[in-house]
């Protein structure tokens, strides 16, 4: 979609001002306003018309060839030309009826293709993109968020034949269709979040074409369980796989990846893998080239996706929080409120009765009450959280260091809810990461629960800076802040080749859980979990069941058989409780306490270094 305001000037010789020039200009201006292609807000505000570099052009598109997957992140591509240097792009996400769900702004970057991840939430109806400069709207576009929504596996295909694309589209038939979208390798997203809706990628090796940002984003997706299949693969750094830096001497683990002879070699990377095949697809014989796209691309029915991504974590937190038991803080909070109200009433009564007809005691009592109320605000704020239970997930993308914060507000806790009394809370929840970046999240829903998706850029990149270690950190609630319901920290790490996890010395109690099938006894073949707990000296001791400190609420989130880990390819998990050694986080001005975290690991043994 494209909007254009202004047009290249005609050569001077052709321009002959006629008697109707003023009328024509008026009509043109009126048309520009009516058509909405470039509402000249400066005309209404009286602000001077910003100087542009030529004809102003704004283009925007959503998803891959317009295709998006509901409840997943999708890329929003924006390009502007001819805008002033200080121009900015504003992205407004709107629900049906025009209610704004969220807004983001960033520099326009003349001529550059900008990429802004958007969560395709059910309530999202329209995405409005504006090119702004000095308070003026230079151009505006509206995109329908669900016009090409596809609730299933989306496979990106680069440089493969139409036959291959059709074969991929039928890979999961008759169970379900999938959507194969042809795209240019250079147009792949450069933000890891934008891969959230992609089930797999199949490419004919384009060589080392990808930018560093694209490579990091692609690696982050593979590490989370994505599958990249490269055909006509070139050797070494001349090929895509080599340029990604994941040449692995142990490649060819067919037994683990389910590939047959002739279907390429799989290189495991984190929880995902890259399949590399040096042959051309057209060299193959038999139906579909004699290969199973389902195996090569590790395609699973949509609802059984095993990738670890932002949306998977969000679902887990939502389930856990919505079903949580009533918070013990409810009684204290209720008592505190009623006591504060009674104390204020007594103060006014005393001042009125003792002060006779003087106003000063009443004024003094009111000012004193106000002061005490604000002095106790921190405690009250933390205890109530606007009367709602708040659960956060903050996902730090390893590729870009962007922090995606999803906020779930569940009404009705810690205090009972009365629908008609609910207000649209104007004050946000302030979240601060390691003193580097902070953001405020406004809760604006009157429904029982609501998600707010926001992205923040932080000035650090976590362990992804290490060449051989991709990791992410996420918050997964709830835990506690001053006794109220707040988030817990979850950190995932995908070390390669037996790398050790990061230093966890500063963490508190720690456990190691290994998933697997019981090999003997009555429960043979069933999925079970073996537990180890770290002793104070750093040794690991095998225990019969999950440790008590894990807590019922967290164990529901990470229930290794039913919860987060059900579909995860991770075999083992390192779980801890205590201060957050990874991410300095403050919510509503206070430190987050009782943080619980989990690291999905590719390995199958308790860490011998760093953790104990």
| Site for another protein, rule CB under 8 A | 334, 337-338, 340-342, 344-345, 348-349, 351-352, 357-359, 362-363, 366-367, 369-370, 373-374, 377, 380-381, 384-387, 415, 418, 420-427, 443-444, 446
Closer of 27 and 341 to another protein (Cβ): 341
Closer of 213 and 337 to another protein (Cβ): 337
Closer of 334 and 556 to another protein (Cβ): 334
Closer of 194 and 381 to another protein (Cβ): 381
Assess whether the previous peptide bond of 165 is cis (omega < 30° from 0). no
Output the smallest distance, CB 380 to another protein, in A: 5
Closer of 353 and 544 to another protein (Cβ): 353
Closer of 359 and 544 to another protein (Cβ): 359
Output the smallest distance, CB 595 to another protein, in A: 24
Output the smallest distance, CB 390 to another protein, in A: 11
Contact between 46 and 78 under an 8 Å Cβ cutoff? The reply is no
Output the smallest distance, CB 493 to another protein, in A: 36
Q: Which residues pair with 274 in a beta bridge?
A: 228, 267
Distance of CA 270 to the CA centre of its chain: 19
Closer of 86 and 377 to another protein (Cβ): 377
Q: How many residues make up the chain in this entry?
A: 612
Q: How far apart are the first and last CA of the chain?
A: 56
Output the smallest distance, CB 538 to another protein, in A: 44
Contact between 182 and 309 under an 8 Å Cβ cutoff? The reply is no
Output the smallest distance, CB 360 to another protein, in A: 11
Closer of 23 and 377 to another protein (Cβ): 377
Give the separation between CA 27 and CA 223, rounded to whole angstroms: 57
Closer of 237 and 427 to another protein (Cβ): 427
Assess whether the previous peptide bond of 417 is cis (omega < 30° from 0). no
Pairing of strands 590-591, 540-543: unpaired
Instruction: Give the position of tokens 């048309």.
Output: 31
Angle at the Cα of 426 (from 422 to 428), degrees rounded to 5? 110
Give the separation between CA 129 and CA 135, rounded to whole angstroms: 15
Closer of 162 and 423 to another protein (Cβ): 423
Output the smallest distance, CB 415 to another protein, in A: 6
Closer of 146 and 446 to another protein (Cβ): 446
Give the separation between CA 492 and CA 439, rounded to whole angstroms: 23
Instruction: Count CA atoms closer than 13 A to 266's CA, side-chain side.
Output: 24
Output the smallest distance, CB 137 to another protein, in A: 19
Contact between 533 and 540 under an 8 Å Cβ cutoff? The reply is yes
Sheet strands side by side (includes 136-144): 100-107, 88-95, 124-133, 136-144
DSSP per residue over 3-41, as a string? EEES-PPPPGGG----TTHHHHHHHHHHHHHHHTSS--H
Output the smallest distance, CB 364 to another protein, in A: 10
- From the CB of residue 186, how many other CB atoms can be counted at a distance below 10 Å? 11
Separation in Å, CA 386 to CA 28, 157, 424, 441: 50, 47, 10, 12
Give the separation between CA 394 and CA 475, rounded to whole angstroms: 5
Output the smallest distance, CB 34 to another protein, in A: 22
The residues, ordered by sequence, that sit 6+ positions from 100 with a Cβ below 8 Å of its Cβ are 92, 93, 94
Give the separation between CA 587 and CA 496, rounded to whole angstroms: 33
Tokens describing residue 598: 């989990």
Closer of 41 and 187 to another protein (Cβ): 41
Contact between 261 and 307 under an 8 Å Cβ cutoff? The reply is no
Output the smallest distance, CB 333 to another protein, in A: 8
Strands (E), 212-360: 227-231, 265-269, 272-276
Output the smallest distance, CB 94 to another protein, in A: 15
């Amino acid at each position: 979609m494209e909007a254009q305001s202004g047009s290249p000037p005609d050569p001077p010789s052709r321009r002959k001002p006629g008697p109707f020039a003023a009328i024509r200009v008026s009509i043109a201006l009126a048309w520009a306003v009516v058509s909405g292609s470039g509402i000249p807000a400066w005309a209404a505000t009286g602000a001077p018309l910003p100087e542009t570099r030529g004809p102003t052009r704004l283009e925007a598109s959503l998803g891959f060839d317009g295709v998006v997957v509901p409840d997943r992140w999708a890329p929003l591509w924006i390009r502007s030309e001819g805008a002033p240097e200080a121009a900015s792009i504003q992205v407004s996400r709107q629900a049906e009826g025009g209610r704004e769900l969220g807004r983001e702004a960033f520099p326009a970057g003349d001529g550059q293709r900008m990429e802004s991840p958007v969560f395709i939430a059910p309530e999202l109806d329209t995405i409005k993109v504006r090119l702004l400069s000095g308070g003026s709207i230079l151009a505006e576009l509206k995109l329908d968020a669900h016009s090409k929504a596809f609730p299933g596996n989306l496979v990106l295909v680069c440089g493969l034949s139409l036959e291959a694309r059709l074969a991929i589209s039928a890979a999961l038939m008759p169970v379900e269709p999938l959507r194969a979208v042809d795209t240019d390798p250079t147009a792949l997203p450069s933000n890891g979040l934008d891969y959230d809706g992609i089930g797999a990628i199949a490419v004919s090796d384009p060589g080392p074409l990808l930018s560093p940002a694209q490579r990091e984003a692609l690696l982050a997706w593979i590490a989370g369980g994505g599958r990249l299949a490269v055909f006509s693969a070139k050797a070494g750094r001349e090929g895509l796989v080599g340029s990604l830096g994941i040449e692995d001497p142990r490649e060819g683990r067919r037994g683990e990846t389910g590939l047959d002879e002739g279907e390429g070699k799989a290189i495991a990377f984190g929880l995902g893998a890259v399949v590399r095949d040096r042959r051309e697809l057209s060299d193959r014989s038999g139906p579909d080239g004699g290969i199973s796209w389902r195996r090569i691309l590790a395609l699973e029915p949509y609802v059984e996706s095993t990738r670890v991504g932002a949306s998977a974590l969000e679902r887990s937190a939502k389930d856990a929080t919505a079903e949580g038991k009533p918070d013990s803080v409810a009684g204290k909070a209720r008592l505190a409120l009623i006591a504060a109200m009674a104390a204020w009433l007594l103060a006014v009564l005393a001042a009125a009765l003792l002060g006779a007809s003087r106003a000063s005691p009443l004024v003094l009592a009111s000012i004193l009450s106000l002061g005490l109320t604000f002095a106790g605000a921190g405690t009250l704020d933390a205890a109530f959280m606007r009367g709602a239970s708040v659960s956060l997930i903050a996902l730090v993308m390893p590729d870009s260091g962007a922090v995606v914060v999803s906020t779930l507000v569940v009404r009705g806790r810690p205090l009972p809810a009365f629908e008609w009394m609910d207000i649209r809370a104007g004050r946000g929840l302030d979240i601060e990461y390691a003193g580097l970046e902070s953001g405020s999240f406004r809760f604006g829903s009157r429904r029982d629960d609501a998600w707010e998706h926001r992205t923040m850029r932080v000035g650090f990149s976590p362990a992804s800076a290490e060449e051989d270690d991709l990791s992410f950190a996420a918050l997964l609630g709830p835990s506690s802040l001053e006794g109220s319901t707040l988030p817990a920290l979850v950190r995932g790490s995908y070390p390669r080749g037996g790398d050790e996890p990061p230093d966890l010395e500063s963490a508190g109690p720690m456990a190691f859980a290994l998933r697997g099938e019981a090999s003997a006894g009555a429960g043979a073949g069933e999925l079970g979990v073996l537990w180890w707990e770290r002793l104070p000296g750093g040794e690991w001791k095998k225990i019969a069941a999950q440790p008590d400190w894990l807590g019922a609420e967290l164990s529901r989130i990470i229930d290794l058989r039913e919860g987060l880990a059900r579909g995860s390819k991770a075999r083992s998990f390192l779980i801890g409780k205590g201060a957050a050694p990874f991410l300095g986080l403050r919510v509503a001005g206070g430190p987050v306490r009782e943080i619980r975290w989990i690291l999905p690991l590719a390995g199958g043994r308790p860490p011998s270094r760093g953790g104990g």
